[in-house]
Amino acid sequence: MTTYFRMITLAAIVVALFPISSLAQGLTPVRFCLDWAMQAHHAQWGLAIKKQYFEANGLEVTMDRGYGSGDTIVKVASGAYDIGFMDINALIKFNAENPDRRLIAFYQVFYRTPNSIVALAKSGIRTPADLVGKTLGAPDGDSSRLMFGTFARANTIDPATVNWISMAPTLRETMLVQGQVDAISGFSSTAVFNLIALGVPKEDIVVIGYADHGLDLYGSALAATPDYIAKHPDVIAAFVEATIAGTIDLMKDPDAGMQAMKEIEPLFDTKLERDRLAFLMDKGMMKSPALETDGLGYVDRSRMERTVKANSEAYNIPAPPLEEIYTTEFLPPLAQRLPPN
């Protein structure tokens, strides 16, 4: 790894001495796919693009919106994209079912999973036990729904005592507001702000986070195919370097991050997304005491083992070896990864 970071440092010095345009021919193109429509937690890459951190590290990155982690995984596995941002839990399932097309996570972005059950206060739902006998709604492929059995068992609930209704992703929050379901499952960072956009006061929204109730799992990460990583280790190291620089800037100045995303996506709602970012930070998904000590991108092996085991139980799949799930090989030294105070 020392060689990679010497190369990255040298690239940064060269860029400081010469205009970016003079180096354009030497940039390596990278196709990058997000997990969903552009949101607050993508702003570290928005800043990396705006501040030319990618270019300083020799990369020309094209960033596209995604249509769910499952879709992003398939696109990266097929070679349509080089790097993707995706839920590590979905990656674990994909790797177990597709061992010849597996992906490797190389930078952990979400320290905790945002998988949750979300209800309205008027439903009376406050705890996992309150879900017994209730009707929940979610798309069939929603990861929170698929992992509900494991969540239920962790909270001594019989999964069979909960009824489910399926719907399109775009109808999930609407059906909750209309009273067609008692609660919904999904990423809290998405569901809560979709409900707010529908006019539901924040104080009327109840979130039962899986991470707060027995399933303290990792969340979304950057990943690529083993073949791409083996052929382009310098690209992976450079992408991590630019991501960390963008993340540190985002933590220092969240509003600048929102503005950077607005420049990429004109329909980006800076106020709503600024609140979403604060939510992600407050809930420990993008900021935590562990990261303050161990640095951005840190992965605790025993906690990743629990994440893999939970997915194995949820999906009734073999538990892939950790070495086939993630690597920390491309993390720079701790001093370069510490978040700002």
The pLDDT tens digits of the residues spanning 197-234 come to 999 999 999 999 999 999 999 999 999 999 999 999 99
Does the model's pTM come out above 0.85? yes
Sorted by where each begins, the domain ranges of the chain are: 2-112+218-337, 115-211
Name which of 2-11, 45-54, 254-263, 289-298 the model is least confident about: 2-11
The torsion angles phi and psi of 303, rounded to 5 degrees, stand at -70, -35
Q: How far apart are CA 221 and CA 239, in angstroms?
A: 13
Q: Mean pLDDT score of the chain, rounded to an integer?
A: 91
Cα dihedral 58/296/76/151 (nearest 10)? -170
Q: Which long-range contacts (CB under 8 A, 24 or more apart) does 163-166 make?
A: 163/134, 163/135, 163/136, 164/135, 164/136, 164/137, 164/138, 165/135, 165/136, 165/137, 166/137, 166/138, 166/139, 166/140
214 contacts: CB under 8 Å, gap ≥ 6: 151, 154, 155
**By the 8 A CB rule, do 272 and 198 touch?**
no
Tell me the average pLDDT across 310-332.
94
The torsion angles phi and psi of 292, rounded to 5 degrees, stand at -65, -25
Please give the span between the terminal C-alpha atoms of the chain, in angstroms, as a whole number.
27
**By the 8 A CB rule, do 142 and 125 touch?**
no
pLDDT at 253 over 50: yes
Q: What is the pLDDT of residue 15?
A: 42
Per-residue model confidence as pLDDT tens digits over 159-201: 999 999 999 988 999 999 999 999 999 999 999 999 999 999 9
The DSSP symbol for 66 reads -
Q: What is the pLDDT of residue 10?
A: 40
* Planar angle of CA 56, 11, 57, nearest 5 degrees: 40
pLDDT at 3 over 60: no
Q: What is the pLDDT of residue 224?
A: 98
Could you check whether 2-112+218-337 and 115-211 share the same CATH topology?
Answer: yes
Tell me the average pLDDT across 56-67.
96
Tell me the average pLDDT across 268-275.
96
Q: How far apart are CA 315 and CA 307, in angstroms?
A: 12
pLDDT at 7 over 60: no
Q: What DSSP element (H or E) covers 271?
A: helix 270-282
Instruction: Determine how β-strand 220-224 pairs with β-strand 104-108.
Output: antiparallel
* Between 72 and 18, residue with greater pLDDT: 72
2-112+218-337 classified as CATH 3.40.190.10: yes
Tokens, residue 38 = 């552009």
Tell me the average pLDDT across 272-289.
93
Looking up tokens 């249509």, which residue turns up? 67
CA-based nearest residue to 177, from 115, 138, 120: 120
The DSSP symbol for 216 reads -
Q: What is the pLDDT of residue 67?
A: 86
pLDDT at 2 over 70: no
115-211 classified as CATH 3.40.190.10: yes
Q: How far apart are CA 159 and CA 161, in angstroms?
A: 5
Q: What is the pLDDT of residue 6?
A: 40
Is residue 140 very low, low, confident or very high in pLDDT (cuts 50, 70, 90)?
confident
The DSSP symbol for 159 reads G
Provide the edge-to-edge strand list for the sheet that holds 83-87.
Answer: 59-64, 28-33, 83-87, 220-224, 104-108
Extended beta strands in the chain, E state: 28-33, 59-64, 83-87, 104-108, 115-120, 135-138, 163-166, 183-187, 205-209, 220-224
Q: How far apart are CA 133 and CA 156, in angstroms?
A: 14
Q: Which residues partner with 186 through β-bridges?
A: 116
